[in-house]
Structure 1
Amino acid sequence: MIYFDNSATTQPYPDVLKTYQEVASKIVGNPSSLHQLGTQSMRILKASRRQIAELLGKAEDEIIFTSGGTEGDNWVLKGLAFEKSCYGRHIIVSHIEHPAVKETAKWLAEQGFEVDFAPVSQSGFVDVEALSRLIKDETILVSVMAVNNEIGSIQPIAEISQLLENKPTISFHVDAVQAIGKIAPEAYLTDRVDFATFSGHKFHAVRGVGFVYKKAGKKIAPLLHGGGQESRFRSGTENAAGIAAMAKALRLIFDKEEKARKELLTMKKALLAGLSNYNDVTIFSGLENFAPHILTFGIKDVRGEILVHAFEEHDIYISTTSACSSKAGKPAGTLIAMGISQKLSQTAVRVSLDETNDMGQIEQFLTIFQHIYNKTKKVR
């Protein structure tokens, strides 16, 4: 099997699964319980929080555990909107955000907030100048992802940070779900970023666990109310085993990050070179200012889902851009926002790599691709 759908989810590292199993089987107490078993569980949470904070260069109380990226994005947008509504009701998100951000923004618009969508260039990068023109006195939040999940474009977080430098009343949120292990942390966690969202299963942790970075002193309303866990920001019994496993995964990712990025880029360049030899192939992802693990392309007049299933017959797994919208049969929202026609957008498929892949798999993929390309000649 060749698994090239790592932007949808990654396979947990063996050591991560071992950590999960050990904590789940040996640490049985609820972290909120007063007895010794509860104290043991709380120690796991504290140690995990400390490790994640240290790896990101942040303070322990700036890390809030969640169930993953969707919850984190929903919490930040809704929590800030209602917390700061007395100061303004205007929100800006980019046109290429993940549905967890974009659909939340649309829901907030239905609740009476004013939402603007910042446009992107034909290459898939947020237009910072256009974004600046959208800012009003009533603007309370700007949300822009670090790495686009459909084509891999690295968004200009540093430039947007500079734009917002003298606008302290505007909160800046970054969806960093696709960033960890793929680009340098300073590219998505600038000093101006107030909130950032992360999901464990995108970096070889287990599913159902994530965290939000919340800059110290920043106010936000809770999304979940109840027992007051996570400093009253996120009620609900913490998933101690999942959190410990996530902290382990993050450390392993950071240990190999620089080497992994070089290997990913080498594989992506080989893929790009191979696919560029075909006249009826459109490449939607680039190299400069693009993440090293995502390459999106299409074959003329061949719908993306046809390609996905054609590769699956050879035990190779890719996807049609965003996993969250692929089953709905929608064209890639990012490509539409870039001004690409719906017909061409519907041909798009995404290869998303990981350091567990190798050049032998790239070569096999390109061999199978040639076979599939030749079979689609009549359609083209």
Structure 2
Amino acid sequence: MIYLDNSATTQPHKEVLDTFVQVNESYYANPASIHEAGVEANTLLDRARAQVAQLLHTEEQHILFTAGGTESNNFAIFGITKANTHKGKHIITTEIEHPSVLEAVKELRNEGFEVDYLKVDQNGKISLEELREKLRKETVLVSIMHVNNEIGSIQPIEEAARIIHEKSRATFHVDAVQSFGKLPIQFNGDLGPDIITISGHKIHALKGSGLIAFRKKQNITPLLLGGGQEFGLRSGTVAVPQAVSLAKAARIAVENLDMSMNKYKKWHDELIQFLTEFGDNIHLLSTKDGAGHILSLSVKGLKGEILINALQKRGIIVSTSSACSSKQTKTSHVVEAVKVPSEFKKGVIRISFGAKTTEEDITEFKKAFTNVMNELKGEKQI
């Protein structure tokens, strides 16, 4: 099997799995307990937190471990807005965010918040001028993803941060689930985002692990109430094995960032060149200046499921544009936002690379795709 669906989830690194098992076996005590075993577990947790804080250039007390990207995004959006209604009730986000952002914002709109959605161009990028125009005195939160999970478009995060911090009192949240470990993202003084969210299973860690990181102390309302763990912001017994294994995966990702970026960019450009050879049968949703690890395309007049199944028969695993919406029959909101031509809307598939992808995988994909296209052409499906 050649697995090219790493933006949906990744295979955990062996050393990450080994760490998870070892911590479960030897440091299984509750880190909140005051006995020796609890203190040892808490020391390990503190070490993991410090490691992540160092990678993101922030303070240890500004790292909270969560159960994944959805919880982290919900925590950022609900937590900031609920705690800052005295500043206003206006939110800005984009029309191509992940559902964990869009649905949270929709709920707040039902509760009386005003929401502005930034449009994107055909390449999936926002307009900084529109962002500037939409900012108000009452804006309390701006939430913009760094890399889009369906088409790989990269938003100008540093420029957006500069505008937001100059023109408003809003908190700037960045969903970095698809960018951390693949592109540089960290807190950079006043020029960076205020909050970053990360998911473990996108960087070869475990499902059920994630984090939310702050550039500086935030006024934020907890979503979970109870024993006051995680600095009183996320109650519940902390999953130390998940936190430690996530920290390990994050360190591996950052240490290999330059190598990964170069590798992904090479394959991305190579496949774009390869796909252009099929002429007007192919529509590329991803562009050369997008994230190197995501490439989305569509075949004219063909359902994505047909293409996915045909490739799977040849041992190639890809997905429709988003794993979160792949089982739904309606067209993705991202596909609609970037105005994909009608004859291509149903045929969108996504190829995504990870740390375990090889040069041979790319070669085999090209062979399999060519065979599938020839077969479908023979059957006059395209």
Using the TM superposition, give the Cα deviation of residue 262 of structure 1 relative to its aligned residue in structure 2, in angstroms: 0.8
Counterpart mapping for 1:1-380 below 5 A: 1-186=1-186, 191-279=191-279, 280-288=281-289, 290-377=290-377, 378-380=380-382
Q: Can you give the 5+ residue segments of structure 2 that lack an aligned partner in the other structure?
A: none
Cα 1:343–1:86 shift into 2, 3 Å: farther
Distance 2:190 2:210 in 1: 20
**RMSD of aligned alpha carbons:** 1.5
Distance 2:158 2:234 in 1: 29
Matched residue type, 2:359: M
**Higher mean Cα deviation, 278-287 or 132-141?**
132-141
Cα 1:336–1:317 shift into 2, 3 Å: same
Output the TM-score relative to the length of structure 1: 0.97
**Higher mean Cα deviation, 87-96 or 166-175?**
166-175
**Higher mean Cα deviation, 104-113 or 163-172?**
163-172
**Higher mean Cα deviation, 262-271 or 48-57?**
262-271
Distance 1:303 1:335 in 2: 14
Cα 1:203–1:152 shift into 2, 3 Å: same
Distance 1:75 1:282 in 2: 37
Distance 1:149 1:82 in 2: 27
Distance 1:189 1:107 in 2: 32
Deviations 1:30-55 (A, max 9, x none): 01111111111101110000011111
Cα 1:178–1:232 shift into 2, 3 Å: same
Using the TM superposition, give the Cα deviation of residue 137 of structure 1 relative to its aligned residue in structure 2, in angstroms: 2.0
Matched residue type, 2:12: P
8 A contact 1:264–1:355 mirrored in 2: no
Using the TM superposition, give the Cα deviation of residue 191 of structure 1 relative to its aligned residue in structure 2, in angstroms: 3.5
Using the TM superposition, give the Cα deviation of residue 118 of structure 1 relative to its aligned residue in structure 2, in angstroms: 0.7
**Higher mean Cα deviation, 351-360 or 41-50?**
351-360
Distance 1:359 1:190 in 2: 40
Distance 2:308 2:115 in 1: 35
Matched residue type, 1:379: Q
Cα 1:187–1:318 shift into 2, 3 Å: farther
Using the TM superposition, give the Cα deviation of residue 342 of structure 1 relative to its aligned residue in structure 2, in angstroms: 5.0
SS of structure 2 residue aligned to 1:164: helix
Distance 2:302 2:258 in 1: 36
SS of structure 2 residue aligned to 1:165: helix
Matched residue type, 2:197: T
Matched residue type, 1:117: Y
Using the TM superposition, give the Cα deviation of residue 13 of structure 1 relative to its aligned residue in structure 2, in angstroms: 0.4
Distance 1:369 1:311 in 2: 7
Using the TM superposition, give the Cα deviation of residue 165 of structure 1 relative to its aligned residue in structure 2, in angstroms: 2.5
Using the TM superposition, give the Cα deviation of residue 248 of structure 1 relative to its aligned residue in structure 2, in angstroms: 0.8
SS of structure 2 residue aligned to 1:166: helix
Using the TM superposition, give the Cα deviation of residue 168 of structure 1 relative to its aligned residue in structure 2, in angstroms: 4.9
Using the TM superposition, give the Cα deviation of residue 355 of structure 1 relative to its aligned residue in structure 2, in angstroms: 2.9
Using the TM superposition, give the Cα deviation of residue 84 of structure 1 relative to its aligned residue in structure 2, in angstroms: 0.9
Alignment length (residue pairs): 379
Distance 1:324 1:338 in 2: 18
